[in-house]
Structure 1
Amino acid sequence: MVSKHFHIDRTENSPQIDMDVDNGIMEFVGRSLPHNSEQFYSRVYRGLDEYLQRTRGETTVNMKLDYLDTSSSKHIYNIFSRLNAETAEGRQVRVNWHYECGDEEMAETGKDYESLFRLDFSFIEVEELF
Structure 2
Amino acid sequence: MDNLDIPQTNASPAIRADWEAGLIAMQGDSYPENSFELFQPLIDWVEAYLAQPERPLRLELELLYLNTSSIRALMDILDLLEEAHRKGRQVSVRWSYDGANERVGELAAEFKEDCTFPFDIAAKV
Same fold, TM-score > 0.5, yes or no: yes
Mind listing any 5+ residue stretches in structure 1 that lack a counterpart? none
Identity across the alignment (%): 26
Q: Give the aligned partner of residue 10 of structure 1.
A: 8
Spell out the pairing of 1:77-96 with structure 2 (5 A cutoff): 77-96=75-94
Conservation of the 8 A alpha-carbon contact between 1:21 and 1:54: no
Distance 1:14 1:105 in 2: 18
Q: Report how far residue 119 of structure 1 moved.
A: 2.0
Q: 1:59 aligns with which of 36, 47, 57?
A: 57
Distance 1:43 1:22 in 2: 17
User: Can you list the C-alpha shifts for 1:36-84, whole angstroms capped at 9, x where unaligned?
Assistant: 1122122221222222234622221101000000110011011000110
Distance 1:18 1:108 in 2: 24
1:73 is aligned to 2:49: no
Q: How many residues in Structure 1 have an aligned counterpart in Structure 2?
A: 125
Which residue identity is paired with 1:110?
A
Superposition RMSD in Å: 1.3
Instruction: Report the more deviating stretch, 80-89 or 42-51.
Output: 42-51
Residues 9 and 108 of structure 1: CA distance in aligned 2, closer, same or farther (over 3 Å): same
TM-score normalised by structure 2 residue count: 0.92
Spell out the pairing of 1:1-130 with structure 2 (5 A cutoff): 2-3=1-2, 5-54=3-52, 56-127=54-125
Mind listing any 5+ residue stretches in structure 2 that lack a counterpart? none
Conservation of the 8 A alpha-carbon contact between 1:99 and 1:106: yes
Which residue identity is paired with 1:116?
D
Residues 102 and 55 of structure 1: CA distance in aligned 2, closer, same or farther (over 3 Å): farther
Q: Which runs of 4+ in 1 moved over 4 A?
A: none
SS of the equivalent of 2:95 reads strand
TM-score normalised by structure 1 residue count: 0.89
Distance 1:18 1:8 in 2: 6
